[in-house]
Structure formats: C-alpha cells, structure tokens
Amino acid sequence: MSDNEEVREKIIKAAMRIFSQHGFFKPPVRLIAEEAEVSKGLIFWYFRSKEELILEVAVRSLPTDIMEQCLKEGIGGGELLRCIGKRYLDKYKDPILKNLLLHTLSAEALYPSIRAEITKLCGEGLRKTAIMAFGSDDPTHIMVVRSFFGGLLCYVLRPPQDISPEDYLESLMEISLCCPSSSSSEKGRSSK
C-alpha cells in the first residue's frame, strides 16, 4: 500500500534525525516515535525491532548509492572522480548525514551486515573506481583513489571554512591526478 510506504518513510526520516543527534544506542524508540508523530507501537509494526530500524538507517547513511550511480553512468577518468566527489560532498554537507556516516562506521564493529556493506564499498567499489578512472587497479592507483576518498572523508569530518566544496574537490582532484600519470610505473617499482 502507498500509505504504508509513506508512514514507513516518515519513521525512517525521523529516526535519521534522532540517531544523527544521539547515536544509535542512546535514544529510546519513544523519541523516534515522537519525532515521527506516530505511536511507539507503530514503529514495531513496520520494523521487527529497533535494530532493524538502525540497520535501515545505517545502510542509507553510507555512500553506496553514490558509488553505484556514478559507476553506472559509464564515465571514466577524472570525470568519474568528479562525479563521485560532487555527490559525496553534496550528500554529506547535510550535518544529519555526516553524523550518521560516523555512527555507521562506528557501528560496523557491532553489526556484521554493516561490516559487509562497508567491505564491499571499500573493496570492490574502490577497485572498480580505480579501473574506470585510471584503467588499472594496481596498488598505486588503488592508493590514489584511496587518498581521494580519504580527502573526501576528511572534508566531511571537518569541513574547512575557508574553501567551498567545489574548490575543495578541484584541489583534491588535482592532487589525485597530478602524480599517478607520471609515477604509476615508477611507483610500482619504488614501492617494492
């Protein structure tokens, strides 16, 4: 039913706001119910348990959707990095999602399903990105992508006030792109 989904969505949105501010474990379900303006009991009609709601929110908090969309668009090279970077910064400029990302990374140690999700993102996702961006998934290029993502995460963690997201992204891309082209072959050797 469509009504069904709307309510479910309302609960998830409320949970995201509450979890963002208080983490996954401190806030009682009652708080989420109040924020969603539904009864406490209703939450357990849509979600088997609080944990199920946490997992639903956690999955949405990761950048999985961004990776998938950008990789699906078939673009390559710097454009792929720009695509990912742009949407990444856009998603996490929302402080709610920024906090949720951290809570989710932290909760990885607790929920195997979150761990699996992140592992896929950092394993397969990273490799695919390297291949589509640089045509190679050798350690050096993986490293560049890794550093690129690290820079993005760093921005999310502490957005610097003296630079816009756009400029930040350009600057980050320049760092990522300037070296590997020339050093990728040497790197392979020197890292030995």
Partner DNA sequence: CATGAATGAGCCTTCATTCAT
Partner DNA sequence: AATGAATGAAGGCTCATTCAT
Residue 72 interacts with, from DNA, a copy of itself, none (CB under 5-8 Å by kind): none
Q: How far is the CB of 50 from DNA (least distance, A)?
A: 4
List Cβ neighbours of 2 (8 Å cut-off, separation of 6 or more). none
Residue 135 interacts with, from DNA, a copy of itself, none (CB under 5-8 Å by kind): none
| Residues within the interface to DNA (CB under 7 A) | 1, 3-4, 7, 26-30, 38-46, 48-51
Residue 30 interacts with, from a copy of itself, DNA, none (CB under 5-8 Å by kind): DNA
Q: Identify the CA nearest to 76 among candidates 125, 135, 121.
A: 135
- Measured in whole angstroms, the distance separating CA 56 from the mean position of its chain's CA atoms is 14
Handedness of CA 38, 13, 2, 47 (dihedral sign): negative
Q: Identify the CA nearest to 152 among candidates 68, 23, 62, 58.
A: 62
How many Cβ atoms from other residues are within 10 Å of residue 120's Cβ? 14
Residue 37 or 162 with smaller CB distance to a copy of itself:
162
Give CA–CA dist 62/88, Å, rounded: 10
Residue 57 or 133 with smaller CB distance to DNA:
57
Residue 185: C-alpha distances to residues 37, 191, 192 (Å): 59, 10, 12
Q: How far is the CB of 55 from DNA (least distance, A)?
A: 12
| Residues within the interface to a copy of itself (CB under 8 A) | 20-23, 25-26, 99, 102-103, 105-110, 118-119, 122-123, 139-140, 142-144, 146-147, 149-155, 157-158, 160, 162-163, 167-168, 170-172, 174-176, 178-180, 182-183, 187, 190-192
Find out whether 27 and 57 touch, Cβ atoms under 8 Å.
no
Q: How far is the CB of 54 from DNA (least distance, A)?
A: 9
Residue 27 or 76 with smaller CB distance to a copy of itself:
27
Residue 158 interacts with, from a copy of itself, DNA, none (CB under 5-8 Å by kind): a copy of itself
